Amino acid sequence: MKKKIYYSILFLFFIFIFSVFYLGLDKPNSYTPNEYSNKNLETFTSKELFLNDEFNSNDIIENNQFTLVNIWASWCAPCRSEHSLLMGLKEKTNINIIGLNYKDKKNNAIKFLNELGNPFEKILTDPDGTISIALGAYGVPETFLVNSKSKIIRKYIGPLKTENILEITKIIK
Amino acid sequence: MIKLIKIILLILIFTLSFQKILYANNNYLLVNKISKNLRCLICQGQSVYDSQSDFALSIKILIKNKIEEGKSEKQIYDYLKNQYGEWIVYDPEFNKKNIVLWIFPLILFTFGGLLIYRKVFIK
């Protein structure tokens, strides 16, 4: 009788270990960032690219129902590919877009905009990348859709795709 | 007299500059320590300390800035956890999700201990 209890406990124990590892197998082991966070975007103050004076992101975010914050750099190839989508979005919906110029040279950034157009309301600079880290970004390009209270409604990691643009247009309508 | 003042001034400058080096060195060590405990999220298998990616370099600058602001080590970890989630730190938190991870070795030890006890002392 005692042996029976002992063996059944042992059996249950192994079943438990097996199920823990089996369930663990199913989980993706690479890090997947959460795209629908309920967090607020930190406000940031930085130099404007063209005007060279300090500017606070909240000045634009507070006064608009929705704002798009786009992290970009002239040296980043995916930014180049998503730029036409941003231009199209700006034309169609007139949404305010704040650009955050990530670890870039001023001349290169201006050249990039002259070549491909400027969809941004204001462009703030992030020369050492610390603002992007404070926003919780992983790199360039990255885009946040926030409401007037700075709440992040959508976060797009990597270049924007056409379906993302459609989604944004739907949300802000 | 002037010579004496000069010497005193020289010593003062010397000690002050030396102190600054020591202080800066201290910060540098703390940045290294913190960044060794952080996972580089875009280069898996590397710590922020090891990585030379833009992401890791920016985090290192941010840590340095936070230390200069007077933030403690724990405050910096909490700040980054809030931005990027628990995954960024190597040390898993003790919470509901991780309970098996923390309790399991203890169970195993007790169980194994009991087995040994039975084998050695009983019979």
Note the pLDDT tens digit of each residue in B57-67.
999 999 999 99
pLDDT at A146: 92
Q: Per DSSP, what are the bridge partners of residue A143?
A: A70, A156
Q: Find the closest chain A residue to B88 by CA distance.
A: A31
For residues A41 and A146, give the distance between their C-alpha atoms in angstroms, rounded to a whole number: 7
- Architecture per CATH, domain B2-91, reads as Orthogonal Bundle (1.10)
Q: Considering only residues A173 and A163, tell me which one the structure prediction assigns the higher pLDDT.
A: A163
Instruction: State ipTM.
Output: 0.75
- Spell out the domain ranges in chain B: 2-91, 94-123
| Cα distance between the two ends of chain B | 92
Average pLDDT of the segment spanning A128-149? 91
For residues A60-73, give the mean pLDDT: 92
Question: Nearest-CA distance from B19 to chain A in Å?
Answer: 27
Q: Which residue of B31, B38, B46, B58 is the best one to mutate when testing the A interface, meaning the one whose CB has the most A CBs within 10 A?
A: B58
Which of A130, A131, A142, A144 is the best mutation test for B, with the most CBs of B within 10 A? A130
Question: Are the Cβ atoms of A129 and B54 closer than 8 angstroms?
Answer: yes
Q: What are the structural domains of chain A?
A: 45-172 (3.40.30.10)
> Could you tell me the pLDDT band of residue B18, with boundaries at 50, 70 and 90?
confident
How does the average pLDDT of chain A come out, rounded? Answer: 89
Q: Residue A102, class by beta-carbon neighbours within 10 Å (0-12 exposed, 13-18 middle, 19+ buried)?
A: buried
pLDDT score at B24: 66
The answer, yes or no, to whether the previous bond of A141 is cis (omega within 30 of 0) is yes
d(CA B70, CA B67): 5
CA A94 to chain centre: 20
The per-residue pLDDT for A24 is 80
Residue A117's pLDDT is 93
User: Is the Cβ–Cβ distance between A60 and A121 less than 8 Å?
Assistant: yes
CA-CA distance, B42 to B81, in Å (whole number)? 15
Neighbours of A32 (CB within 10 A): 8
Instruction: Indicate the pLDDT class of residue B21, thresholds 50, 70 and 90.
Output: low
pTM: 0.75
- Residue A10 near chain B (CB below 8 Å): no
Element (H, E) at B111: helix B99-121
